[in-house]
Structure 1
Amino acid sequence: MTQNAKDTAAAPASGPDPETLLPMAERLLARALAAGAEAAEVILGEARSLDVSVREGALEEVERSEGRSAGLRVFIGKRMAGTSFSDLTDDGVGLAVERAVAMARVAPEDRWCGLVEADQLARTLPHIELYEDMVWDAAALETEALEMEAAARAVKGVAMVASSGASLSSSAGVMVTSNGFVGAKRGSMASRGIAAVAKAGDAMERDYDQHSMRQRADLRSVQELGRSAGERAAARLGSEKMRSGKMPVVFDERVATSFIGALLGAISGPAIARGTSFLREKNAERIFAEGIDIIEDPLKPWGHGSRAFDGEGVATRPRAIIEDGVLTGWILNAASARQLGLPLTGHASADPGGPPGVSVSNLHLAPGERSRDELISDAGTGLLVTEMFGASLNSNTGDWSVGVAGHRIENGKIAGPVSESTVAGNMLDIFARLQPGSDLEFSGRINSPSVIVDALSVGGR
């Protein structure tokens, strides 16, 4: 729903409440069992958001949205079917239940499917601070977006701002299962984002900055974000292809999380069960250098990915996924744990109405002792990567390549901008050689400081 900023000024602060969702979820569960399901799972969520964007010094759009949705999984023997829907009227719920049960009766058998065993479900759930009431003031968000735009335009070389916006959101969710699990969660999020365009002659370059935090007061200032986006865009003017060769490469903290993503895909239970992971034979082995730790803390207050229970109702717990360079195990949902004959790890991701996947909560690569500038200095002659795109990873071998943009490093200092270049290597080799910087910030579900890899293949000219 699009509105004028004045129409939503100082809107009520209270967000969705899981206490209002729980009775609805329990009624839906009861209807599924009455319709013939032998076991069932219900996930019910509610979300509200307010987004404001500006352009050329004027309000562009105010969008306010809110809604509820549900996911239902039903089981008949070893057959499973599910559906997700947003029509929560009596007729809508009845139709969804009827459809799910009918599909389950004719679904193929899956020996690994099923709810988590009752004795493995979380029973006592810790409270995690994830929600604060916020004043939903569209006029205030408009002011933030305008000030952010002005800060970007003040940077020399910036010709225009492609987008500038601020938003607030809040959500609540509940999960109930027929074997006794009841869980609830509630969270808030505030965000700011901007994309700037710099121009020199006929050349134009674009870059961005953005920040999201659960508490509005923790956001980076609009001046800092706007200036950062403008400076990043202007710094890309005059870019050229990097010379080809093997050299040290520093990855900015904004892109370094890609390596953690590659690790997570390779240690996920489904990949290990299929035998399609380059780490399938590396459990309990050192795959990173000594002293490297990658830590998960699902109970972190105000964490982006914090959760007391996973997508199947299993309790989460802090864990070092990499400890002193050693891989400590896989991340599993119930199906992959059954296939591998291993205990649950609390890493199922909820897919309302569909089979659970695998995900982590809050994960970070522990920082090293060298600053980003020191990593660049130690690189001597090499490449600083600030943007990656079009990555290709062979999940069986770990061979990896990616398009990059960034800057040359000459004599230990940042030099001219680079684009239309590639970086390639093997993830096993990259993991073993990777060293983290000290500039870790917690601004997302997965966080990393800048990192340096001392020898990678770079292609350009």
Structure 2
Amino acid sequence: MSEPIDSRPLLSRASELVDLALKAGATEADAVAVRSRSRSVSVRQGQVEGVDSSEGDDFSLRVFVGRKVASVSANPGFDLAELAARAVAMAKASPEDPFACLADKADLSREHADLDLFDPTEVSSAELTAAAKEAEEGALSISGVTRSAGAGASASMGGLVLVTSTGFSGAYMATRFGRGVSAIAGEGTGMERDHEGCSRLHYADLDPALEIGRKAGERAVRRLNPRKVPTATGVTVIYDPRVARSLVGHIAGAINGAAIARKTSFLKDMMGKQVLASGLTISDDPQIVRGSSSRPFDGEGVRGERLLMIEDGILKNWFLATSQARELGLHTNGRGVRGGNSVSPSSTNLALEPGEMSPEDMIRSVKDGFYVTELIGHGANIVTGEYSRGASGYWIENGELAYPVSEITLASNMRDMFMAMTPANDIDRNFGVAAPTILIENMTVAGK
């Protein structure tokens, strides 16, 4: 993506915007510029379907007048003084928010770590096209694959510029490269589809396009001629890592400080109590070098440190930004993310730490069960903990994946699921949410 865009002009503009807001009557203010540049190519059956390119800088100004707060956004070229005056006028007309505030000065990052998030490799549209075609060729090379559902490759860069009236000034940029393909096996009503993709911060870390395509094709062919299974309770279910990550995401949602403050999480009263099986740990670390979701500081200028969110099954921390922490009588842990004109807590590099058993041994340990490779729908209720999702995968018989299965529903309660989880040892930390293969006992499988 070539050299990083010089952030100094944006930092200067953001700093001037904050100063103008204070002169217009704000008691505190922060200005953010979110910048992005991207290029992508999509192909289908060897033909280029689309080439997209975009670039932009989006500014937002947040101002506080006492406990009143307002935010405004603008594109480059706006009049700074006019934007600042409008934001202050909006704040004065807003209701008071007792918890809205900037991060405390003492919490602000002073030295921003170099996390190696930017790769200057320039990838042309021709190279992206070649990678997408190669991924598609890899899928079509698998016997039983009848066509491609499309392939793509992309290169992008993005970053954050933040200036606050409490003295913070910082910027960082990150690149991301990706390639993927979707393959179709079979014909007519017997067609099955599967996919494979790869996304990395550094171009050299990408999996080979041909290998990505072959994996997608093999997965699609393996899904041919699926069966339906009868409804059963007390079923042992094993989640493939691709879908196991969603379970860790549900845990993250349930321990998000915003949900806790709103009392919309079924774990809202569980701080210091056991929420996972003994021995299980979930970590979150924004400071990992080349980490998929790493950042030197959060959306408020706070440096987040590695946290054990859950340790030995015991809930230890919520994800917190400043306002949610204040509402809960706690302290931010540097998990604030800018979303539009607001700051909300979120995870960074989140991981369910692996166990000791290999996924192969885990499958061999199951006499009769279900191995999940795909989930459908959004039936995970963070308020009640109820879990009900469409699924497909493979039935396990005598420790082996016996045949493909589709059109079933998995059901349970996440309280019970979390307490019955056993992780394997095959974690891939190249994802912002990382999880190994996970075994969960005593679930309900609704089939025919």
Pairwise same-fold verdict (TM > 0.5):
yes
Measure how far apart 1:94 and its partner are.
4.7
Distance in 2 of aligned mates of 1:138 and 1:355? 35
In 2, Cα distance between equivalents of 1:355 and 1:256: 30
1:29-78 per-position Cα deviation (integer Å, ceiling 9, x unaligned): 22322333221111112211111122221222222211111111111111
Alignment-derived partner of residue 249 in structure 2: 261
Q: Residues 243-258 of structure 1: matches in 2 within 5 Å?
A: 243-246=230-233, 247-258=235-246
After TM superposition, list the pairs within 5 Å mapping 1:69-80 onto structure 2: 69-80=58-69
Deviation at 1:136, TM superposition (A): 2.5
User: Partner letter of residue 203 of structure 1?
Assistant: G
Number of the residue aligned with 1:154: 141
Mapped contact 1:18–1:172 kept (Cα < 8 A):
no
Partner deviation per Cα, 1:156-186 (whole Å, 9 max, x = no partner): 2212111111111112321011111112111
CA drift of 1:275 comes to 2.2
Is the partner of 2:379 in helix, strand or coil? strand
- 1:293 deviates by 1.4
Amino acid at match of 1:105: K
Q: Which residue of 1 aligns with 2:164?
A: 177
Separation in 2 of the partners of 1:328 and 1:69? 36
- Contact 1:18/1:186 (<8 A) preserved: no
CA distance in 2, matches of 1:126, 1:404: 42
The answer on 1:62 being equivalent to 2:51 is: yes
Give the Cα separation in 2 of the matches to 1:262 and 1:446: 11
Aligned length, in residue pairs: 447
- Does the 8 A contact of 1:167 with 1:191 survive in 2? yes
- Whether the 8 Å contact between 1:48 and 1:171 is mirrored in structure 2 is yes
Deviations 1:80-103 (A, max 9, x none): 1112222x1143x45543432222
Q: Distance in 2 between matches of 1:136 and 1:30?
A: 39
Once the 2 structures are TM-superposed, how far is the Cα of residue 385 of structure 1 from its aligned partner?
0.6
CA distance in 1, matches of 2:418, 2:186: 38
State whether residues 210 and 225 of structure 1, in contact with CA within 8 Å, keep that contact through their aligned partners in structure 2.
yes
Give the residue type in structure 2 aligned to 1:417. Answer: P
Q: Aligned residue for 1:38?
A: 27
Cα distance in 1, alignment partners of residues 225 and 255 from structure 2: 41
Return the alpha-carbon distance in structure 2 between the equivalents of residues 68 and 146 of structure 1: 32
Q: Comparing 203-212 with 15-24, which one deviates more in the overlay? A: 15-24
Structure 1 window deviating more from structure 2 (392-401 vs 35-44): it is 392-401
Cα contact 2:45–2:150 (8 A) shared by 1: no
Contact 2:258 2:324 (C-alpha < 8 Å) held by counterparts: yes
1:74-89 pair list within 5 angstroms: 74-86=63-75, 88-89=76-77
Partner of 1:429: 416
Equivalent residue for 1:16? Answer: 5
What residue in structure 2 maps to residue 191 of structure 1?
Answer: 178
Whole-angstrom CA distance in 1 between matches of 2:199 and 2:53: 18
Shift of 1:420: 1.4
Runs of 4+ in 1 over 4 A off after TM superposition: none
Q: Of the candidates 320, 327, 332, which is equivalent to residue 332 of structure 1?
A: 320
Secondary structure in 2 matching 1:350:
strand
How far apart in 2 are the matches of 1:102 and 1:306? Answer: 36
How far the C-alpha of 1:201 sits from its partner, in A, is 4.7
Any idea what SS the aligned residue of 2:244 has?
helix
Name stretches of at least 5 consecutive residues in structure 2 with no aligned partner.
Answer: none
Q: Higher mean Cα deviation, 310-319 or 30-39?
A: 30-39
CA distance in 2, matches of 1:120, 1:323: 25
Q: Is 2:42 the partner of 1:53?
A: yes
Contact 2:245–2:433 (CA under 8 A) maintained in structure 1: yes
Alpha-carbon RMSD: 1.6
CA distance in 1 between partners of 2:188 and 2:106 (Å): 68
Deviation string 1:6-32 (CA, Å, 9 cap, x unpaired) is: xxxxxx722323234211211222232
Task: Determine whether 1:200 maps to 2:187.
Answer: yes
Aligned to 1:3: none
Displacement after TM superposition at 1:345 (Å): 1.3
Q: Does 1:305 align with 2:301?
A: no
TM-score normalised per structure 1: 0.93
1:277 matched to 2:265? The reply is yes
Question: Which stretch of the first structure deviates more once superposed, 17-26 or 354-363?
Answer: 17-26
**Contact between 1:167 and 1:192, CA under 8 Å: does it hold in 2?**
yes
Unaligned runs of 5+ in 1: 1-11
The alignment-based identity, stated in percent, is 39
Q: Which residue is 1:450 aligned to?
A: 437
Q: Residues of 1 paired with 2:325 and 2:439: CA distance? A: 35
Structure-1 separation of matches of 2:37 and 2:9: 15
Q: Is 1:130–2:120 an aligned residue pair?
A: no
Per-residue deviation, 1:417: 1.4
User: 1: CA distance between counterparts of 2:56 and 2:188?
Assistant: 47
Residue matched to 1:315: 303
Residues 16 and 172 in structure 1, CA contact (< 8 A), matched pair in contact too: no
CA contact (8 A) 1:21 1:45 kept: no
Q: Aligned-pair distance for 1:144?
A: 1.0
1:395 and 1:146 map into 2 onto residues whose CA distance is: 41
